[in-house]
């Protein structure tokens, strides 16, 4: 479990426009039951807003993936960048609850004035993952006929399938 929580109670007492910067270095951040972003390193800039704190963050780490071509596991470098406003839920000096923002899916500062970057980084890291992971641009993948990993061994299979639309061309070529 990572601790990407920042106590912003004093910061919320400062004037709008006040800024702070933080670096973080965590061993890992779980992205899901199967995925782990490790190690996690990054930087965050906090700016005091009328409603809370604007966070501009950059985070990076590696996620273990399975190549879609050769089915070998590899480490994918992930970089997540975002800018999000975290809204206060409790007035910092009065301790009274504040109205929730009208928008859905906003990030909130909890009643103890802790701003948790973990969920925002998790969401943006998941968005940064490739849809079809590939271990390298030159990955040759598996042979569709024998299953040999063509990155490790040459494949001797000859694909005899011919697209029906091209069959007439093959017959023309064979006539010569």
pLDDT digits (tens, 9 = 90+) for 50-84: 999 999 999 999 999 999 999 999 999 999 999 99
Regarding pTM above 0.85, the answer is no
Residue 170's pLDDT is 74
pLDDT tens digits, 86-142: 999 999 999 999 998 989 899 999 999 999 999 999 999 999 999 999 999 999 999
Rounded mean pLDDT of 35-48? 97
Print the domain residue range for 155.
Answer: 142-176
Cα–Cα dist 131/65, whole Å: 11
Cα–Cα dist 4/24, whole Å: 8
Where residue 20 falls among pLDDT bands split at 50, 70, 90? very high
**Helix, strand, coil distribution of the chain in percent, nearest 5:** 15, 40, 45
With beta carbons less than 8 A apart as the criterion, state whether 102 and 167 touch.
no
Give the single-character DSSP code of 149.
B
Residue 11, H or E segment: helix 9-12
Residue 157's pLDDT is 85
Task: Give the bridge partners for 63, in sequence order.
Answer: 37, 76
Tokens representing residue 61 in the block: 């780490």
Are 35 and 116 in the same domain? Answer: yes
Are 24 and 36 in the same domain? Answer: yes
With beta carbons less than 8 A apart as the criterion, state whether 27 and 2 touch.
yes
Cα–Cα dist 53/46, whole Å: 6
Are 26 and 56 in the same domain? Answer: yes
Are 93 and 153 in the same domain? Answer: no
Are 163 and 101 in the same domain? Answer: no
Residue holding tokens 């993952």? 129
Comparing 72 with 166, the larger pLDDT belongs to: 72
Are 101 and 89 in the same domain? Answer: yes
Are 103 and 147 in the same domain? Answer: no
Residue 173, H or E segment: helix 167-175
Residue 159's pLDDT is 65
Residue 78, H or E segment: strand 73-88
Are 124 and 157 in the same domain? Answer: no
Where residue 165 falls among pLDDT bands split at 50, 70, 90? confident
The total number of structural domains in the chain stands at 2
Are 114 and 159 in the same domain? Answer: no
Tokens representing residue 18 in the block: 């006040």
Where residue 160 falls among pLDDT bands split at 50, 70, 90? low
By the 10 Å C-beta count (0-12 exposed, 13-18 middle, 19+ buried), 166 is classed as: exposed
Where residue 166 falls among pLDDT bands split at 50, 70, 90? confident
Are 89 and 150 in the same domain? Answer: no
């Amino acid at each position: 479990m990572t601790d990407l929580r920042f106590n912003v109670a004093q910061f919320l007492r400062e004037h709008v426009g006040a800024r702070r910067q933080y670096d973080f270095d965590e061993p890992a951040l779980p992205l899901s039951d199967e995925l782990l972003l490790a190690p996690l390193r990054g930087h965050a800039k906090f700016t005091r807003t009328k409603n809370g704190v604007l966070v501009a963050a950059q985070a990076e780490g590696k996620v273990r993936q399975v190549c879609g071509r050769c089915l070998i596991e590899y480490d994918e470098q992930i970089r997540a960048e975002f800018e999000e406003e975290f809204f206060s839920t409790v007035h910092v000096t009065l301790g009274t609850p504040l109205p929730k923002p009208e928008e859905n899916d906003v990030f909130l500062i909890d009643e103890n004035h802790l701003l948790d970057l973990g969920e925002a980084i998790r969401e943006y890291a998941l968005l940064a993952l490739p849809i079809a992971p590939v271990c390298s641009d030159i990955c040759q993948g598996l042979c569709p006929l024998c299953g040999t990993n063509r990155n490790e061994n040459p494949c001797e299979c000859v694909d005899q399938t011919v697209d029906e639309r091209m069959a007439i061309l093959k017959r023309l070529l064979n006539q010569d």
